[in-house]
Amino acid sequence: MELFGTSNLQEAGAARPQDVRRAAPRFVRGVANGLAHLHARHLHHRDIKPENVLFDGTDVKLCDFGLTTPCRRDASGARLRFPQRVTGSLGFFAPEMLHPGGYDGPPADVWSAGVLALEVLIGTPDFDALWFVAYNTEYKRGTLMQDRRADDGADVHAHFCGVLAPIVDALADGATALGALVARHAANAEVAGACRAMLRLDPSARPTAAAVRDGLTTETVVTEL
């Protein structure tokens, strides 16, 4: 991979959060474009997060492909599901990775991109308080429950989705702390709408990465971060 970027999105967000928030359309569109490129080549990134997004003042690129893996297909060409396994980073991995029936790779990447979009929109301190802590606490609680029950994981997935549902619903509710932050800080309505769509609990209801990219028409020009 070529040498690229002066900083990653995590570093830029910590140093200049207002500028990153203002540039949300460019970042989210760039991440979606990178994922669309991977998915068109039948690859599943598996670790989308701000640290793995590079920015050089003009372009956005994904990096760290250490967990990237091919999406297998059956004889008919249909994409096969990945086996149940949490892969990626806490707070960003898709909840369906806990499903005992496995999961579909590209929609899981889209979920992670939605979480990234949320952090860009509301800033890291509020993201940590309103999303990251609850996400990781309930994941750990669910895995403890599975260890005690020695079941097949179905209860863990159901528990996790049940806990996430009101948090995800809050994204569209301006009366909640999370919803108000999304509405207040969104660079435009397109980014907020894309974030909500990518964070649908039903993987089949999420847009593809290409659809997210094509739906974000606003380009915010940032010369330096």
Residue 223 lies in a domain: no
Does residue 64 carry a catalytic annotation? no
Among 19, 47, 173, 202, the active-site one is 47
Residue partners of 50: CB distance under 8 A and separation at least 6 = 8, 9, 10, 13, 116, 119, 120
Task: Give the pTM.
Answer: 0.88
- pLDDT of 201 reads 96
**pLDDT digits 0-9 by tens, 97-156:** 999 899 999 999 999 999 999 999 888 889 999 899 888 888 877 666 555 555 555 578
Residue 19 lies in a domain: yes
- pLDDT of 155 reads 75
Number of domains composing the chain: 1
Residue 44 lies in a domain: yes
Q: Which domain holds residue 52?
A: 7-215
Residue 143 lies in a domain: yes
C-alpha angle 143-147-149 in degrees, rounded to nearest 5: 115
Query: Rounded to whole angstroms, how far apart are CA atoms 157 and 163?
Result: 10
- pLDDT of 92 reads 96
Nearest to 82 by CA among 91, 66, 94: 94
Residue 198 lies in a domain: yes
CATH value at residue 175: 1.10.510.10
Residue 62 lies in a domain: yes
Residue 103 lies in a domain: yes
* Local structure of 194: helix, strand or coil: helix
Residue 35 lies in a domain: yes
Mean pLDDT (the chain) is 85
- pLDDT of 75 reads 86
